[in-house]
Amino acid sequence: MSTPKQTAVITKTTASTWAAHRPVPVGNIRLRDAMLAPRMRTNLRETLPGQFRFLDETGRLRNFLRAAGKDKTDFEGRYYNDSDVYKWVEAASWALASQPEDAATDLREMLDTVVQFIVDAQREDGYLNTWFANERAGERWTNLADKHELYCAGHLIQAAIAHVRALGSVKLLDVAIRLADHIVETFGPASEGKREETDGHPEIEMALVELYRETGDLRYLNQARFFIDIRGRGTAGGDDYRQDTTPIRQQREMVGHAVRAVYLNAGVADLVAEVNDPELRTALEAMLDSMLSKRSYITGGIGSRYEGEAFGLDYELPNNRAYAETCAAIGVVMWVWRMLLLDAADDSRLPDVLERTLYNAVLPGISLDGNLYFYQNPLRDEDGSHRRQPWFGCACCPPNIARLIAQLPGYFATTSTRRFGESDSRHDIVWLHLYAEGDYQIPLPDGGIVSLTMTTRYPWDGEIAVEITGLKDAGDFTLQMRVPDWASGTSGMLNDDRLPEAETTPGQYLTIRRLWQVGDVVRLSIPMPVRRIVSHPRVANNTGRVALMRGPLVYCVEDADNPIGDVRDIVLTDDTRITAAQRPELLGDVVVLSAHAELESPAPGWDGALYRNLSSVERDRQGRSEVQLTAIPYMVWANRGAGPMTVWLRRS
């Protein structure tokens, strides 16, 4: 394992006063599992080069040449297209950091080319947005509610931070600092002669806090706080869609455009890690509860309405019309991750949500070959018409999922420090939040390094072994391993000794403090029975229906495995036995579920009728036939021939 860059962290909370956790750099964890590691290799070798070609073919790159005066063609695409380029730069940077041994030279060359295009397009005053270049230069900052200028700037800043942390180059960071300085000079209190406005699409908040963490320049933190405090005053459209109806400190429900909502809350969580603001923390906790308990899908997806790509009312969660945008799920991961960093609690609520959303709401957004994408992620497809696409006119999702896949190792582990007594002695803690086979090199806050090797087939199997393979200036530390809230019956071993049952309580972390030695092994054995899940009674779409989960994975029934009739007519009885088995030949070696079920056709008399008198309807139970049901993980559906799919099955 080559020496990774210790600065290559997604969120740098090393000096964040109110953050409990420090993330581990993305290059410090080298995954070798059969699910995520292949996705990362495909991302590096197929997805990112393919996206570069689309950025070129759709004119997104030429727009930068045009802004630099090197191309005379008209602007191509939509006014926010710069953001797609910036997300690609961020994704490529993290991919090169997390997989340097697999990196192809041509990807680095592509990245260098794009970075130079961006550098050349910047104006002398630091401003950079290709839509407002040349003939539109006089329209800068005139329509923040709709034109995404600060949103694009935020993605540029995040790309620049990834570029310097992953590759050590300040070339793009210099561009980002000049742009951020221009923003600081332009926006702020009217009493200082500045513009009291913010963007209709949150994003700049996260970026400015992270730029403060990277540079130490307090102006950027204060600017992020200004943009957060100005929301709810009507300066960005004055509606829920743009997150501009209610001041954030007073907000208690998730409303409006789902992506904008979680992006804003992620930025607020970043701010809370730097400043002591109990009102913001209370608002975030209330909105998180609103989302998780009333306004999110079993997959972790959010945004139930096509209209406005928005949250609906409480329990408004249609399946076939679920919007559940891939970008929204990515935003959930970003927000929940930042909430996790704030508090070193021993419960597993937040990492459980992060894991469920990653597997069931993010990964379905990209095909197994890395070249096709979902924008929306419905939980039922009536006729097989919902298929992944190679690109979109609004192409926010493809580069967004590429950057999250490139960042994946950075979400697996953190460290924290506790202080004890009047002596203020420090004690280091290593947290393992997610599980996948690989080698983990974890820098401790006090300067030591713990090396671990994790052996597991998770999430297909619940057997997890963590071996201490190296200790540098480390020994006495606490190891925290997550026991998911669904993991009843989990047991643990330390070397040859069985751990007390109380140490493996579902929904908590297994906690072991000792003077560790190389060769020590901790084993978790997490049972993975198939679980039948039902919805809150007010989720009308799921009345009388059941969904299947095994481990963290949501399953679905797809026509490709069930050529037995309409999947909507499948009935799963509550007492039927469901078995799980590995299928090496199927969809990248997945575990599938099998059960005897029934297929129920409508009773006689319904041909040509939509409504009938109850008294004239007879349910003909003789019309049911026994069938063999096969369910696959939802994250891999639509990778074969087109056909109906459903997550929620009828109960009997």
Q: List residues with catalytic annotation.
A: 309, 396
What's the token pair of residue 588? 């990248």
Q: Beta strand 624-633 with 476-483: parallel, antiparallel or unpaired?
A: unpaired
Long-range pairs of 303-310 with CB within 8 A, sequence gap ≥ 24? 303/257, 303/258, 303/259, 303/328, 306/376, 308/241, 308/256, 308/257, 309/257, 309/258, 309/259, 310/240, 310/241, 310/255, 310/256, 310/257, 310/258
Q: Collapsing DSSP states into helix, strand and coil, what is residue 135?
A: helix
Alpha carbons 249 and 254: distance in angstroms, whole number = 13
Question: What is d(CA 325, CA 463) in angstroms, rounded to the nearest whole number?
Answer: 33
How far apart (Å, rounded) are the C-alpha atoms in residues 164 and 365?
A: 28
Q: CA 231, CA 229: separation in Å to the nearest integer? A: 6
Backbone angles phi, psi at 591, to 5 degrees: -90, 125
Please give the order of strands across the beta sheet that includes 425-432: 22-23, 413-420, 425-432, 476-483, 508-515
Residue 12 CA to residue 206 CA, distance in Å, equals 12
Distance CA 524, CA 522 (A): 7
Distances in whole angstroms, Cα of residue 638 to Cα of each of 367, 370, 374, 381: 8, 13, 10, 10
> Using N-to-C axis directions, what is the helix angle for 105-121 and 171-186, rounded to 10°?
30
> How far is Cα 435 from Cα 412, in angstroms, rounded to an integer?
7
For residue 233, what are the contacts with CB-CB under 8 A and spacing of at least 6?
196, 244, 247
Name the token pair of 589.
Answer: 């070696």
The DSSP bridge pattern shows strands 649-651 and 570-572 to be parallel
Three-state helix/strand/coil letters over 438-460: EEEEEECCCCCEEEEEEEECCCC
Q: How many residues does the chain have?
A: 652
3-class secondary structure, 249: helix
**189 cis-preceded (ω within 30 degrees of 0):** no
CA 408 to chain centre: 9
